Structure 1
Amino acid sequence: MDLNLRKAILSNIAENDQEQLEATITDAIQDGEEKMLPGLGVLFELIWQQSDNQDKQDMVETLEQGVKQANTGN
């Protein structure tokens, strides 16, 4: 069986507006379920592809701060 997870996720959110997309992200993070990680990865990929170099640098800096905080327990 050839399952293209990326296409399936994109198909599921194709008609979503901004409010629905935000709710999808919020719910996935709050639920903390491992099965939601691929979907969040696809959403992040879309954000990354649509971002300019400054936005990408800002995201990487924010990610670095989050990783450090997560590892210190704050």
Structure 2
Amino acid sequence: MNLNLRNAILSNVSGHNAQQLEATIDDALQKGEEKMLPGLGVFFELLWENSDEQEHQEILNTLEQSLKQQKA
């Protein structure tokens, strides 16, 4: 069976509004389950692909600072 996980994830959230997407993200983060990581990865992919260079830099700076805080 050839399952395209990315398409399945996008199909599951297709048509969701911002509030529903936020609830999905919050739920994934609160549960902290490994199986939620691919969905968050697809969301990140969409964010990255639809951001300009300035937004890329802001995302990278936020990630860098967050990783530094994780070490502390």
Please, what TM-score do these two structures have when normalized by structure 1?
Answer: 0.95
- What is the aligned partner in structure 2 of residue 69 from structure 1? 69
Q: Which runs of 4+ in 1 moved over 3 A?
A: none
2:35 and 2:25 map into 1 onto residues whose CA distance is 13
Gaps of 5+ in 1: none
CA distance in 2, matches of 1:24, 1:54: 26
Which residue pairs with 1:51 in the alignment? 51
Return the letter of the residue paired with 1:58.
E
Please say if 1:40 is aligned against 2:40: yes
SS across alignment from 2:57: helix
What is the aligned partner in structure 2 of residue 24 from structure 1?
A: 24
Which whole-Å CA distance do the structure 2 matches of 1:71 and 1:33 have between them? Answer: 21
Q: 1:34 is aligned with what amino acid?
A: E
Superposition RMSD on alpha carbons, in Å? 0.5
Residue identity (%): 61
> Which amino acid counterpart does residue 66 of structure 2 have in structure 1?
G
Q: Residue 8 of structure 2 corresponds to which residue in structure 1?
A: 8
Count of residues paired in the alignment: 72
1:56 counterpart letter in structure 2: H
